[in-house]
Structure 1
Amino acid sequence: MFKKIVKRDGKIVDFNLDKITDAIAKAGAATEEFKHDRAAQLSEKVLKLAEETVKERTPTVEQIQDLVEKVLMDSSFKRTAKAYITYRQDRNKTRNAKSNLMGIYKTIAIADASEDSDVKRSNANVDGNSAMGKMLQFGAEGSKVFAKTVLVDPRFAAAHDNGDIHIHDLDFYATGTLTCCQTDPLKLFANGGFNTGHGHLRTPNSIASYAALAAIILQANQNEQHGGQSIPNFDYAMAPGVNKSFKKALRNNLEKYNKYSGKKVDVKIPDDIAYGDTETLKKLKIPETVIETSNEDVEKQTFQAMEGFIHNLNTMHSRAGAQVPFTSINFGTDTTPAGRLVTKNLLEATDKGLGHGETPIFPISIFKVKEGVSYNPEDPNYDLFKRSMEVSSKRLFPNFTFIDAPFNLKYYKKGDYNTEIATMGCRTRVFSSVFPESDGIVTGRGNNSFTTINLVRLGIKHGIALKERKEADWTGFYKELDDLMDLCRDQLLERYEFQANQHVRNFPFLMGEGNWFGSEKLKPNDTLREVIKHGSLSIGFIGLAEALVAMIGKHHGESEEARELGLDIITHMSKRCDEYAKKNHLNFGLIGTPAEGLSGRFTKIDRKEFGTIKGVTDRDYYTNSFHVPVYYPISAFEKIEIEAPYHALCPAGHISYIELDGDPSQNIDAFEAVIRKMHDSGIGYGSVNHPVDRDPVCGFSGIIADTRCPSCGRVEDEVPFERLRRITGYLVGSLERWNDGKKAEEHDRVKHNVSGTYTKAQKAARECAKANSAAAFGKE
């Protein structure tokens, strides 16, 4: 009989036959096939077999367990044998996950985020080197392991780990949180204020308080969700604050006038007086100097409030202090004097920048463009539209949503901000609904969760990329695509059930204060099922361009055939999501995935399995959603025309970018031409990228083409220049926070010519790209 045994950790301990007996007995009890006495007999057989077959004097635990499996399989207790094998596999899976987790923890604790670890750079909005950033990552990675081993169906976990799909925000799965919410501050202010959990905040009475509480609302919401936060009606929501401040200013200045002018003007200021209400002010016969001074006061206060709002969102922290809130604001359609003043000063504060002139990272600001409101010269907010483009040409924000896009316009009701399309900033769009009461309503709604399909892998398996076939197997492609979409549907439904069984008390601000659509009707112990049904369940995709290259040898920027095939694929996916929505009576939708942390993950997995394939897996990233590859030279207008049809097919979220060279603030006509082309082509949401650099020593902000500041002449040294770039829908000031995939993508970005013609270099690059693609797939 053996005296010792080697444990998995290498330790040598006393051999104990009773432990084998107990393990077999537990398996037998679980299946009810036998009891302890039979287990003792079986363990004796295990020992005898070990003495006959194990050559080492000291066996390992794994060797003994292998023999237990054999003895059980050779016995009549087949159910127990199967149960034991399954249990052992599950235990091995858990041990492996724990071992991998310890390795990840070691990376988080020791590696430098700027050089060594994509784990520490999965979210560019988190400083992976900070103490709280590390703490957030420790919790996130542990939570992912728990979710995959305990909460998620093994089918879904395996598909995620294999790189067939990507379950987003898996680290928040166990919390039951939703992704995002479009919060209406006016709803919170209407009933005497709100409670953030540490005290009640009364309805604000000045524009400064309105702006400050708006920032607090976004921060409080972020602490209860795993995605970003948005205000869809920022100008409408802040306008009452302007009017309240104007009324105060009128009363104060009239009091001063009466005190110091020697005159007595006995006027009662109406409670409903509004900034810019010229007709009422004339009727009241308030002295012109009082009106002018009051206007100046409220205009100054509004600018300071907007400046404070932006500063707050770039300095306040959420999630245990690990990151600033991921925030977005939509504005530009309130045509009242107060609403216009908010927009004007928000743009001015964005243009001015932060304390040292830095471009603000947050909020992601989005100007809502609408014919009859801002698009044409005769429109009341046309001047604000023009100003928004000037600011964006310098600061990269605002981005632009287009209410006139057919899929947005059908919901629009003039003067009702609830029906004006708004976005979460990164691209998430929640608008249509299978429930009539929330159909076409943006306020109070958001995305529940989303999961992304790896289109490139399907292209590799069913296309010509591996040179195993001469023609693409489209039947096999669509069959596997449908299987993966069904898998994503089932996974989203599983997660939805987990979220739906959470309680209002678990989300005291988001649900308890009535932020979410319909949640004001719930009590603390109610579950969320009846309200989160108004959110969306989104299926995403990444790498349409590489999938097309893998299938036929060209992407949709290169070939008309590829363009038609790309639209066929996404149309198919969109229709299937519509079928899921109808059958499950939930808001399923297709989203063009914002690939940040996912950008290089699929690529690494596929390259390991299929090797390096030119034009497919030879870069460190897959192309964002339906975009034309960033490295492909193409004019701005052509890119817009190619991508525009996909916006209608991705109702859960979409965005298109144009890359401009040089300083677009010096060519605002070209910038405007791009925005107008987006509007006229049916783009739903778009933005313009361009270089924004800054010398932190002298404060210069503009373009620094090389290693010397054009303002002070300083050569870049241990104090590096700040290179601000857009990562997905938001800005990042330090490229060191980007993962390797996004760094490679940013490096490859080419500029898009606005004139529609190509420079000699661009023509040569296009021809080179086509030649490389043809050579890779053996085509002439």
Structure 2
Amino acid sequence: MIEKIQKRDGRVITFVPEKITRAIFLAASAVAKEDGGEADYEMAERLTDQVTGYINSVYKRTVPSVEQVQDAVVRVLIETGHAKTSEAYILYRSERTRVRNLRTRLMKSIEEITFSDAKDSDMKRDNANIDGNTAMGTMLQYGSAVSKEYCLSQVINPKYAKMHEAGDIHIHDLDFMNMGTLTCCQIDLDKLFHGGFSTGHGFLREPQDISSYAALAAIAVQSNQNDQHGGQSIPAFDFYLAKGVAKTFRKLYINNLQKATELIAGKTTDIKDMVKRVEGLTKKKPTLDMDYEFLDALNEELKKELNISDETVKNMNTFTYKEARNETDKATYQAMEGFIHNLNTMHSRAGAQVPFSSINFGTDTSVEGRMLMKNLLLAQEAGLGNGETPIFPILIFKVKEGVNYNPGDPNYDLFQLSIRVSAKRLFPNFVFVDAPYNLQYYDPNDFTTEIATMGCRTRVFANVNGKATPVGRGNNSFTTINLPRLGIKHGVVGKKGFFDKSAFFQELDEELELVISQLMERGGIQSGKRVKNFPFLMGQGVWLESENLDWDDTLEEVVKHGTFSVGFIGLAECLVALIGEHHGESEAAQELGLEIIGYMRQKCDEATDKFKLNFTVIATPAEGLSGRFTRIDKKKYGEIRGVTDREYYTNSNHVPVYYPISAYDKINKEAPYHELTNAGHIAYVELDGDPIKNLDAFEAVVRHMKESGVGYGSINHPVDRDPICGFSGVIDDNICPKCGRDENKSSVKFDRIRRITGYLVGTLDRFNDGKAAEERERLKHNVYESQSSK
């Protein structure tokens, strides 16, 4: 009689027939449930006896394996007329194998997180904003690893899990799925600050000066990140915080007018009360752009109250305005400096990260808004305490003709300043309001209709369930399709040896349908959560219309304002696999690339109409995904030249970073995809050398982006720093140009800050292997030749 069996890991254990009985009974129960009946446990026991008899006859003097026992169960079930039960048993067996593999993978992940150094572990560098060597970073990764495996095995539909595991699709932020968090949000500071708000640990009063406006803006970003798995952005930083500048000026104007009455007029009176009276009479306030109706009325009050001459009043006015403006300007700079320092030092998510933060600005033409933007840019240019380039927030300058783009525009000087700061500090990036797909929503009298983007590239605008605006909205979730794999299966490099266009689009269509249904499943989880699960995002009314919900209400009516996005990666490799060349190499490939992404957009538009949810296409920002698909496909299909022969697939619709092409031609090739990718996109080029030495060339690239129809763009260039002497700039040949220190002869290495996917997330040693390889292979366009190559 059989007494032992061998497990998959080689261990030999006692044979327990009751386990076979239970498995047969569960399979029979599944069949009976479909037929409206019940399974018979005694029948399962009799079948087990037959299985045992068969095993004893076949494996008389050996120890059978678990797989051999399971094969015996299937054989007996089929031979005894229980074919349906055998099918259910096979499915049960397959699912058990999948869950077991998940557990094994989880234990391997935990082992790697525990015992590997971040420099040796791609997993621990999956998110470059997390230091995988710290205690809190390790704990965050433990939670992520466990949550991912739980969601794959217990939460999502098994067919979606299998597609994800196989590398056909990638479900982003899978570790947050069961929590029901949303990806990102554009925070409406006007609504949040009005009357004050709570962080859950205390109530904060409405801010009354620029310092408190800036401090509370940073706190809002930090608090919001604890309720979401993605980034936080402020869509109109200039318009929102200009109010803080105005309040500061009014306060300082009153203080300095009080001084002027004593110093110049030699008399004392309650100036604060006088100003209030005049404000009540004129319905005006003292502002940087002083209103003459208010000023005339105030002058009359001063002359009457103090019995002074017109000349004395004039001297008082000159002194008061000049001092108040200078002090306001200084206070605004300090507030912006504090804002940037806060967002690079304050922690979120159990202390493991600084907040992923972005701010959009550039179009407020008020004196207060202009002062705010000037000082924000100057604070960014100055850097952090030791001259370091700030990692966050991502500054995004809104470019708009008639506002800041041409000489004579009211904010043209700020556009010029943004060029200089970006050339030194990598930021700001540039978002282009005049791109047709952005301009169609633009109302010059309503800043909430201006495009605002997340630093990574996520764009939210059209809304099938309400007003088209980015404010108070964000992306709910997104899932990426592995385009190169479809190319391999249906193109010239595959078994067919030719491009089977019909089969390619048919399978793409099937995957799009699957991803849309998967996003809806995730949306159901998100909608079923309650306000109390997101005490800041929903409880403080940050998300659009969430202020109308009670603490225990579910979120169906607000989640519908967000977007569900279908992403893609590796269009270039897909085209090479399909027809032998990518879109940087031929117009035929470009036409096919636009047809593919256009088809994805069409399917999302159809889903939007059908389900009344905002389905959109995103040019995937592929930080964590950059190497995963490639590793899987290389193992599955081998090394294919131009497709799987590198450590990464090309980001979204970009021309491959290593392909020799001018900066201007690269922009021309990538720009048309921005109209199709309504959930987000970015165009960037890589410059070598120090662009601060050739600002005209730098500006020419930005202008070419705008004129080519790019929606969002940035210019990459080296930003290096010697932590010993403090030099910040470009360090060539590992020698500091300031102090002459040789990095190769020192244990202290240079900081080499680089941008990935729109976000700048740190130094090269924090990038995963795929992104590090992509950065190494980027074609560097000569900064001095940029204009001539146009």
TM-score higher than 0.5:
yes
- Per-residue CA deviations over 1:255-307 (Å, capped at 9, x if unaligned) read 33344552346642246535413234642345321221111211111111101
Q: Does 1:231 align with 2:234?
A: yes
Distance 1:626 1:102 in 2: 36
Q: Does 1:575 align with 2:587?
A: no
Contact 1:636 1:753 in 2 (8 A): no
Change in 2 beyond 3 A, CA 1:6/1:462: closer
Equivalent residue in structure 1 for 2:353, among 323, 333, 356: 323
- 1:101 maps to 106
Change in 2 beyond 3 A, CA 1:757/1:209: closer
Identity over aligned residues, as a percent? 58
**SS of the residue 1:287 aligns to:** helix
Q: Does 1:197 align with 2:200?
A: yes
- 2:223 maps to 220
Deviation of 1:588 after TM superposition, in Å, equals: 0.8
Deviation of 1:733 after TM superposition, in Å, equals: 2.8
Contact 1:591 1:651 in 2 (8 A): yes
Distance 1:570 1:27 in 2: 43
Q: Does 1:350 align with 2:380?
A: yes
Deviation of 1:755 after TM superposition, in Å, equals: 8.0
What's the TM-score once normalised by structure 2's chain length? 0.92
The one-letter code sitting in structure 2 at the alignment partner of 1:45 is: Q
Deviation of 1:194 after TM superposition, in Å, equals: 0.9
Q: Which stretch of structure 1 is more off in the superposition, 370-379 or 24-33?
A: 24-33
Equivalent residue in structure 2 for 1:211, among 210, 214, 226: 214
- 1:691 maps to 718
Equivalent residue in structure 1 for 2:327, among 287, 297, 300: 297
Q: Which stretch of structure 1 is more off in the superposition, 265-274 or 615-624?
A: 265-274
- 1:143 maps to 147
- 2:305 maps to none
- 1:249 maps to 252
- 1:279 maps to 291
Deviation of 1:204 after TM superposition, in Å, equals: 0.8
- 2:45 maps to 40
Deviation of 1:487 after TM superposition, in Å, equals: 1.4
- 1:670 maps to 697
Distance 2:29 2:374 in 1: 74
- 1:155 maps to 159
Mapping of residues 387-398 of structure 1, within 5 Å? 387-398=417-428
Q: Does 1:752 align with 2:781?
A: yes
Change in 2 beyond 3 A, CA 1:423/1:67: same
The one-letter code sitting in structure 2 at the alignment partner of 1:574 is: R
- Per-residue CA deviations over 1:501-558 (Å, capped at 9, x if unaligned) read 1111111111111111111111112111111111111111111111112222221112
Distance 2:604 2:628 in 1: 25
Mapping of residues 481-520 of structure 1, within 5 Å? 481-520=508-547
Distance 1:551 1:23 in 2: 46
- Per-residue CA deviations over 1:327-348 (Å, capped at 9, x if unaligned) read 0000011111111111011001
The one-letter code sitting in structure 1 at the alignment partner of 2:748 is: V
Change in 2 beyond 3 A, CA 1:111/1:282: same
- 1:445 maps to 473
Change in 2 beyond 3 A, CA 1:454/1:61: closer
Contact 1:243 1:273 in 2 (8 A): no
Deviation of 1:409 after TM superposition, in Å, equals: 0.7
Distance 1:614 1:551 in 2: 13
Q: Does 1:72 align with 2:77?
A: yes
**SS of the residue 1:633 aligns to:** coil
Contact 1:274 1:338 in 2 (8 A): no
* Runs of at least 5 residues in structure 1 that lack an aligned partner in the other structure: 763-780
- 1:608 maps to 635
* Runs of at least 5 residues in structure 2 that lack an aligned partner in the other structure: 300-315
- 1:733 maps to 762
Change in 2 beyond 3 A, CA 1:78/1:337: same
Distance 2:144 2:69 in 1: 36
**SS of the residue 2:291 aligns to:** helix
The one-letter code sitting in structure 1 at the alignment partner of 2:548 is: K
Equivalent residue in structure 2 for 1:186, among 183, 186, 190: 190
**SS of the residue 2:550 aligns to:** coil
- 1:775 maps to none
**SS of the residue 1:626 aligns to:** coil
Equivalent residue in structure 1 for 2:178, among 174, 197, 207: 174
Change in 2 beyond 3 A, CA 1:496/1:389: same
Contact 1:636 1:754 in 2 (8 A): no
Change in 2 beyond 3 A, CA 1:154/1:711: same
What's the TM-score once normalised by structure 1's chain length? 0.93
Q: Which stretch of structure 1 is more off in the superposition, 588-597 or 81-90?
A: 81-90
Change in 2 beyond 3 A, CA 1:534/1:21: closer
Contact 2:694 2:784 in 1 (8 A): no
Contact 2:460 2:679 in 1 (8 A): yes
RMSD: 2.1
Deviation of 1:13 after TM superposition, in Å, equals: 4.9
Distance 1:757 1:514 in 2: 47
- 1:721 maps to 750
Q: Does 1:415 align with 2:415?
A: no
- 1:83 maps to 88
Deviation of 1:202 after TM superposition, in Å, equals: 1.0
Distance 2:488 2:109 in 1: 30
Mapping of residues 345-494 of structure 1, within 5 Å? 345-435=375-465, 437-439=466-468, 441-466=469-494, 468-469=496-497, 471-494=498-521
Q: Which stretch of structure 1 is more off in the superposition, 81-90 or 221-230?
A: 81-90
The one-letter code sitting in structure 2 at the alignment partner of 1:425 is: G
Distance 1:454 1:370 in 2: 36
- Per-residue CA deviations over 1:198-253 (Å, capped at 9, x if unaligned) read 11111111111111110111111111111111000101111111111112212222
- 2:310 maps to none
**SS of the residue 1:401 aligns to:** strand
**SS of the residue 1:733 aligns to:** strand
Contact 2:688 2:783 in 1 (8 A): no
